[in-house]
Amino acid sequence: MQAMKVAVVGGGLGGLTAAALLARGGCDVTLFERSKHLGGRAQTSEVEGFRFNLGPHALYRAGAALRVLGRLGVKPQGDIPAQTGGYALRAGRLHTLPRGPVSLMTTDVLSLAGKLEVARLLAGLGRIDTDALGSLSTREWLDTRLAREDSRALLAALVRVATYCADLTALSAQAAVRQVQAATAANVLYVDGGWSTLVEAVALQAREAGARLELSTRVAAVVLREGGGRVEGVRLADGTVRAVDAVVVAGGPAEVAALVPGDAALARDAQEAVPVKAATLELGLSGLPRPDALFALGVDGPWYASVHSASARLAPEGGAMIHVAKYLGGSDAAPKEAELEAVMDALQPGWRARVVARRFRPALTVSEGLPLAAKGGLAGRPTVEVPHLGGLYRVGDWVGGEGMLADAALASAEAVERALLQGTVAPRRRAVGA
């Protein structure tokens, strides 16, 4: 039997994973990446010996990404964030961050009544049935579960750090609670060397399984069969057409729509997606002025700062690699760098004299589409199959019913594998994970 020919559009972690899984399953895969390097938003830059991810990246240890990477034989190295040195940030000042029963009782970011309310909620968190929360917004959920403003502010901060989302009126409580459950149950991993190590490892798996990875090659359009309804190829920016049986687009909803001009359903998906954005400041310091202050989370504002090099190898000997971020809501303007610097002034006074490398990004797209309460939560996200166009599939952190962020990207890559390989292709190799 002839191997099914598949074009994967996009060489980020999602596209590479799809390429590796499909090639291992026996497909004849070519991946096209428009930029001259792989990785997309999972790229890491080396600046003066510091490894800068594109904003703070943490891998959920209970998430789909780690599961799928495991199936590919990729075992990320690194560690969980430091369990000491965490602070809540309120009105520009540091307070004890409630992390467990003792700090919850000693912190002054909560009143006594607030402490009891939060303790009760967190004790039962793992048992909350999230299936029923799809159409409820996170804001509504917080308002119904917590009577006190200070408790709601703390829970909102936990949701922001777990989801990256500052727009709690739009975000489905189902997705928010699942993320917080996952974060509190199994924590996250800061990856040694940065997320480009994951990209390189998955790319190696894809190549070894026979996938061809073509860089600096933009796909301009999906070619449809005469009369429409089914894909038959991709047209590259230089005009050449590659005939394929299936196309997997691993980009955002706007990119999918642009590849099939005039398709009203894909245009609507792109219009209705609500992206998650953040401003980020990466810092490489020669050392920490306060070695005991490793993490700050805003409770009266959408702030985050974390010394990632305290847990993962991301800095030269003695140095410190810190990510600072502001979570942006839908209507928020990109902030000035000084706003993020103020978080560092609180966490690490004197940091400016130790800067070796820095990079500011005022508005990065963290996720191409959040699970919306208005659409019923995770089940309301676009499916991997494009129902009216046979052979067209999509992968990304805005697709499918499982997870958020990279977990959604890799879970959707796995869902494409299931959809494409079900009984249609004679496996060329042992099925992955079998």
Ligand X SMILES: Cc1cc2nc3c(=O)[nH]c(=O)nc-3n(C[C@H](O)[C@H](O)[C@H](O)COP(=O)(O)OP(=O)(O)OC[C@H]3O[C@@H](n4cnc5c(N)ncnc54)[C@H](O)[C@@H]3O)c2cc1C
Residues that bind ligand X (CB under 6 A): 9-15, 32-35, 40-42, 54-58, 65, 218-219, 250-251, 255, 278, 280, 364, 366-367, 396-397, 405-407, 409
Q: Please tell me what DSSP assigns to residue 86.
A: E
CB 39 within 8 A of CB 62: no
Supply the minimum distance, in Å, between the C-beta of residue 106 and ligand X.
29
Supply the minimum distance, in Å, between the C-beta of residue 172 and ligand X.
17
Supply the minimum distance, in Å, between the C-beta of residue 253 and ligand X.
11
Q: Which of 434, 425, 432 is closest to 27 using CA atoms?
A: 425
Of 382 and 396, nearer to ligand X (C-beta) is 396
Supply the minimum distance, in Å, between the C-beta of residue 46 and ligand X.
18
Q: Which residues contact 390 (CB under 8 A, 6 or more apart)?
A: 229, 230, 231
Cα 179 to Cα 416: distance, rounded to the nearest angstrom: 23
Amino acid at 351: W
Residue found by looking up tokens 């609507």 in the block? 268
Question: Which 3 state secondary structure label does DSSP give 95?
Answer: strand
Supply the minimum distance, in Å, between the C-beta of residue 199 and ligand X.
9
Helix segments in 192-320, DSSP class H: 196-208, 253-259, 264-272
Cα 80 to Cα 101: distance, rounded to the nearest angstrom: 20
Residue found by looking up tokens 């140095």 in the block? 319
Cα 317 to Cα 322: distance, rounded to the nearest angstrom: 14
Of 162 and 293, nearer to ligand X (C-beta) is 162
Q: Which residues contact 338 (CB under 8 A, 6 or more apart)?
A: none
Of 104 and 209, nearer to ligand X (C-beta) is 209
Listing DSSP states for 120-152 in one string gives HHHHTGGG--GGGGTTSBHHHHHHHH---HHHH
Of 109 and 161, nearer to ligand X (C-beta) is 161
Supply the minimum distance, in Å, between the C-beta of residue 18 and ligand X.
9
Supply the minimum distance, in Å, between the C-beta of residue 228 and ligand X.
20
| CA distances in angstroms from 138 to 145, 231, 399, listed in the order given | 10, 39, 20
Of 166 and 406, nearer to ligand X (C-beta) is 406
Supply the minimum distance, in Å, between the C-beta of residue 187 and ligand X.
12
Question: Which 3 state secondary structure label does DSSP give 309?
Answer: helix
Supply the minimum distance, in Å, between the C-beta of residue 95 and ligand X.
24
Of 370 and 420, nearer to ligand X (C-beta) is 370
Of 37 and 336, nearer to ligand X (C-beta) is 37
Q: Please tell me what DSSP assigns to residue 100.
A: S
Of 116 and 220, nearer to ligand X (C-beta) is 220
Of 26 and 40, nearer to ligand X (C-beta) is 40
Supply the minimum distance, in Å, between the C-beta of residue 274 and ligand X.
15
Of 6 and 425, nearer to ligand X (C-beta) is 6
Listing DSSP states for 4-70 in one string gives PEEEEE--BHHHHHHHHHHHHTT-EEEEE-SSSSSBGGG-EEEETTEEEESS---EETTSHHHHHHH
Query: Angle at Cα 44 formed by Cα 43 and Cα 45, nearest 5°?
Result: 125
Cα 423 to Cα 426: distance, rounded to the nearest angstrom: 8
Cα 16 to Cα 69: distance, rounded to the nearest angstrom: 11
Supply the minimum distance, in Å, between the C-beta of residue 409 and ligand X.
4
